[in-house]
Every structure is written in C-alpha cells, then in structure tokens.
Structure 1
Amino acid sequence: MSDIQRLEMDAKDEGLGKIEIAPEVIEVIASIAASEMDGVFSMQGTFAGGVAERLGKRNHGKGVKVELGDEGIIIDLYLTMQFGVSIPDVSEKLQTHIRQTLMTMTALTIHEINIHIVGIQF
C-alpha cells in the first residue's frame, strides 16, 4: 500500500473538510492493542523491520498488515502466543479488543481482523 492512499472520513460539519488517517496509524493502534492482551507473547515483524529495529528504530506497527479491500479494511496480525493459553479464546478476545479500540479512536468500521499464529513461546 502506498503512502498516497489514505482512509478518508467526512467531518461531521460539512464546512470543516476531510479527515485522513494513514494506514500506518491503524497498524500502530492494532499493534499496541494486541500487545496489551494476555496470552500474546510478541508480534512477528518482517526481516527488514527486524534489521531496522536492531539499528535503533522502533517499529510500532510490527506484525500488522492493513489492506483497503473492496469490502472495507482488512487487518492481518502475525503473532507468537504464550504456551498454555487457549489460542481460540485469546484470538477471539484479541479481535474484539482491536475492533473496539479502532472504533473508539478512529470511528472506522473494520471488515476483517485475521489472526495468524506464527509461533509458541515456551
């Protein structure tokens, strides 16, 4: 997704203009909301993000991918869970928590939140 694409919302008062939210903002909000959930050990980033993080740059959107599809906003999370937790229960709570957090902060409706478990931390 390019930096040019933005999520646009009409302001409540017609004369005020538009509000644009970059997809990177949604990535950061979803990543922080996921890290608050019990049972989530870590978010899985990309190789390039890992190199940048080792060089001192924080990647707050780590492990989150946002797409603007025809149906709406689709979020994919890639994470490592703690051993011993119920993956379906934690995943369902995580989807609800992220949806509520994004609705509260951005007033955007999310079409899908897909959870991808890429590892278990023992």
Structure 2
Amino acid sequence: MEMIADYEKTDLGRIEIAPEVIEVITGLAASEVEGVAHMSGGFVGDIAERLGRKNLAKGVKVEVGKKEAAVDVYLIVEYGYKIPEVARNIQDNVRNAIENMTGLRVVEVNVHIVDVEFKSERKLDVEEPHQRVR
C-alpha cells in the first residue's frame, strides 16, 4: 500500500511528499555510490529505458508512512568491488539523502544485488554501433 507522507502541518496547510519523490531520491542516492554499475528495473523497466524513457526511480520500491519510510533497492554491482561494503555505503547514502531531504525517518534500506557487471560488458554497451558489412 502506498501512502503519501503527511507528517507536517503548518499554519498554511499540510506538507505531503509522494512516494515517487522518495523513489527518485533513493535511486539517485544509490547510483552515486562507487561500485554501483546501475539500477535494475527488471525486464519491463529495462525495455522502457532502452526506448528512451529515463526512470530515476528504476530498481526502487518504497513504503512510506506518516513519519517513516522503508526502501528496497535492486541493483547491479561492478565486478571487483566488495559487495558488503558497497551495500553498506548504499544504505548510508540512501538513509542520509531521504532523512535530510524529507525529514522522514528511514527504518530500513534493503539492498538486493541482482547481478555483477564486468567492465568488458560495460564497454560493449557504450561502443558505437557496428559498421554495416557490404
């Protein structure tokens, strides 16, 4: 169940933060961590991105309450990095980003490593398309 965080009432009204905002903050904070190759949005999310739709919340699931948030992050790690260290850095970066930007208390940051990417795979993704053979 997704809820809009409704945790502050001012003289002028309520302040609400949509779960999609938490997802974007989480995705950006996780992708900043060294060793993260990219976020994993699953098959449908990856196809949408290849079609040109940039999804900053790719690979993120969020549960938001009135004062707390819990997030799940699905990502691919670069080969050669210590996975437990990368995961802890993601947890710290995500928690800090959400708490500093929204004031919500983060109760969980669950990190799901779904694959490892080798540098040779990454290089193939950014190479120019092959020349046509005539």
Q: In which range does the TM-score fall when normalised by the shorter chain?
A: 0.7 to 0.9
How many Å apart are 1:47 and its aligned residue? 2.6
How many Å apart are 1:103 and its aligned residue? 1.0
Alignment partner, residue 40 of structure 2: 44
> Which runs of no fewer than 5 residues in structure 1 stay unpaired?
none
- Give the TM-score taking structure 1 as reference length: 0.87
**What is the aligned residue count?**
118
One-letter code of the match for 1:89? E
Alignment partner, residue 15 of structure 2: 19
Alignment partner, residue 6 of structure 1: 4
One-letter code of the match for 2:92? T
One-letter code of the match for 2:41? G
DSSP 3-state at the match of 2:29: helix
- CA offsets per residue over residues 8-35 of structure 1, 9 Å max, x none? 1214xx4121111111110100100111
Q: 1:57 to 1:50 in 2, by over 3 A?
A: same
Identity among equivalent pairs (%): 47
Q: Which has the larger radius of gyration?
A: 2
- The two structures, once aligned, show a CA RMSD in angstroms of 2.0
- CA offsets per residue over residues 33-87 of structure 1, 9 Å max, x none? 1111100001000333223223322111000000237x94210000000111111
1:108 aligned to 2:81?
A: no
8 Å Cα contact 2:5-2:16 kept in structure 1: yes
8 Å Cα contact 2:7-2:15 kept in structure 1: yes
CA–CA separation in structure 2 for the residues paired with 1:68 and 1:106:
11
Alignment partner, residue 84 of structure 1: 80
